[in-house]
Structure 1
């Protein structure tokens, strides 16, 4: 976790009252040592006032433009529906405010490029809200993998599934709003494979189940990401399946497993399991709130004027892979990344 070498707190505004903001992100900012929420906006003043009152936020606005006009707001968290991310990231950057946008950053590569360019032009930070990778176990996992402790990497398995099939009218079942499992939870193992393997996939093949009763969005996916040197990442993710939440990295001499890989809540265990030629080791970590860690890191990068660890090029590259996965799913073809 980055350390904030500054006594003042970064002043945040929340652009929307989505469940992720209400349940996790507002609390995370308030629990951080380096940030405070000073304003929230919704499409209706009543909803903004309700959430502001619940969390003790001093200002609330009945439209998004008013929050962006608030000169005291320095950073904005955007939990809006996926199809609105590009517009409001660009508008937030134009207002001169740093941006933490919910995943997935964009619906396609062209949008991601526009968002990155807008933030670069405005000289503001842009980050995608993958909270899981701000837990210290991931730095340790990368060290173990690339130290050669488990030998040469042969493959990776990433599993992130749960069952939302009983919900009615959920936004994740609206393809016109960026719904579906690939955008909702598939982006987690996709981003993790690139991060842990420190490489870009060369090709993608996706096999999906689409559900007419859920707006014809993809509800279950099996994906093969082909990385250089014959390394493959097999990813399974979905919203109509028994729950799984794990990463396995397979090496020539051993393996590494990350249980509760993408989502957990304290006091759940956070650990890494390493098996090298039959010798098993369990590396345990403090059960911290990774939403708070994400905020502390973002605040530190802004207040200390440090570059973010995941650059604009990385944001674009991750979106390119997600777009290829989606294209393969819909067209039932193997997609080479150069043609995605």
Structure 2
């Protein structure tokens, strides 16, 4: 394989800017086909993004001989079936986050990839972005000493700007998304925590629905004890007043702290009485750094940037926090 020729299953809102255009901007990568069950929308996407082929049937895209890798960008309900179908066709898969509806489905996807020896990557793309790599570098150098405690606060009002708007609002339908907005946003944050702090020893949490006009839990609290001894405490609430919105993670060490937003671009480091900030330019296509690593991995030139096993940890944490 000398070039990755991508086919996208589910060319919806997430692919418009975040990921889709990046496939043609990465070396030895090309977007050659897209699929959506609504053929008119698939055709419109292909025309606007200059994609040679479009389909309204996933079987046809997966079996297209010109397509040698699949990006699954549907809502989570379809992730497992499309991923396994593509893996069985011998085509490596890059699947959106959350990996699927729950940890059991994620395990089946991972087991299938391993059994068939076909490559599988999950789109926890923040771990490839410069800002979050900088945080990892700061932690690895023990700039703030030994990490003691991590506190995360994600407070948003209903229908927050962080979440893409769709007419069917599938993100708050647990049957389709696996839960509510927690399942849409928390995978970014929890993946970073395991990327930074390693293996999980224990996790627990609770979830509840405080708004009467939703089917999904809108408040989640979760705690993690890592094997390293680091303790994480997270709070997610999606029904606060607009003026109370917050997106903040603080890593406390024995010498100081590092604070950052998951959906922002400034890192703050405080040691003794000194404070320093690191600012990063917003990325045009937020998934491009991750796609570069995925392409290298599929071409045999790099390591898997986020494996099924990696993403399975995040799925288990979400289940631990939300299962009643």
Q: Report the TM-score when normalising by structure 1.
A: 0.84
Give the aligned partner of residue 33 of structure 2.
Answer: 39
The aligned runs of 1:1-340 (5 Å cut-off) are 9-165=3-159, 169-177=168-176, 178-214=178-214, 216-228=215-227, 231-241=230-240, 242=242, 243-259=245-261, 261=262, 263-264=263-264, 270-288=265-283, 289-327=285-323, 331=324
1:13 is paired with a residue whose SS is: strand
Output the CA distance in 1 between the equivalents of 2:199 and 2:305. Answer: 15
Q: Structure 1 pair 67/119, CA: closer, same or farther in 2 (3 Å)?
A: same
Closer, same or farther: CA 160–56 of 1 in aligned 2, 3 Å: farther
Q: 1:239 to 1:98 in 2, by over 3 A?
A: farther
Q: Please give the alpha-carbon distance, in whole angstroms, between the structure 1 residues aligned to 2:180 and 2:280.
A: 33
User: 1:91 offset after TM fit, Å?
Assistant: 0.4
> 1:158: how far off?
2.3
User: Post-superposition shift, 1:256?
Assistant: 0.6
Q: 1:240 to 1:13 in 2, by over 3 A?
A: farther
Whether contact under 8 Å (1:223, 1:325) holds in the other structure is yes
Q: Secondary structure, in 3 states, of the residue corresponding to 1:24? A: coil
RMSD over aligned CA atoms reads: 2.3
SS of 1:272's equivalent in the other structure is strand
Aligned mates of 2:267, 2:159 — CA distance in 1: 31
Shift, 1:159, TM fit: 3.2
Q: Residue 201 of structure 1: CA displacement?
A: 4.5
**Gaps spanning 5+ residues in structure 2: where?**
none
Task: Please state how far the C-alpha of 1:228 moved relative to its aligned partner.
Answer: 4.2
Distance 1:19 1:238, change over 3 A: farther
TM-score under structure 2 length normalisation: 0.88
Stretch moving more, 314-323 or 233-242: 233-242
Deviation at 1:230, TM superposition (A): 5.3
SS of the residue corresponding to residue 202 of structure 1 reads strand
Contact 2:293 2:302 in 1 (8 A): no
Which deviates more, 80-89 or 310-319? 310-319
Q: How far has the Cα of 1:146 moved from its partner?
A: 3.3
Change (3 A) 1:72 1:198: same
Q: Residues of 2 paired with 1:137 and 1:271: CA distance?
A: 8
Query: 1:323 Cα shift?
Result: 1.2
- Distance, in Å, in 2 between the alignment partners of 1:304 and 1:249 is 35
State the Cα distance separating 1:292 from its structure 2 match: 1.1
In structure 1, how many angstroms separate the alpha carbons of the residues matched to 2:294 and 2:175?
31
- 1:152 and 1:83 map into 2 onto residues whose CA distance is 40
Contact kept in structure 1, 2:19 and 2:286, CA below 8 Å: no
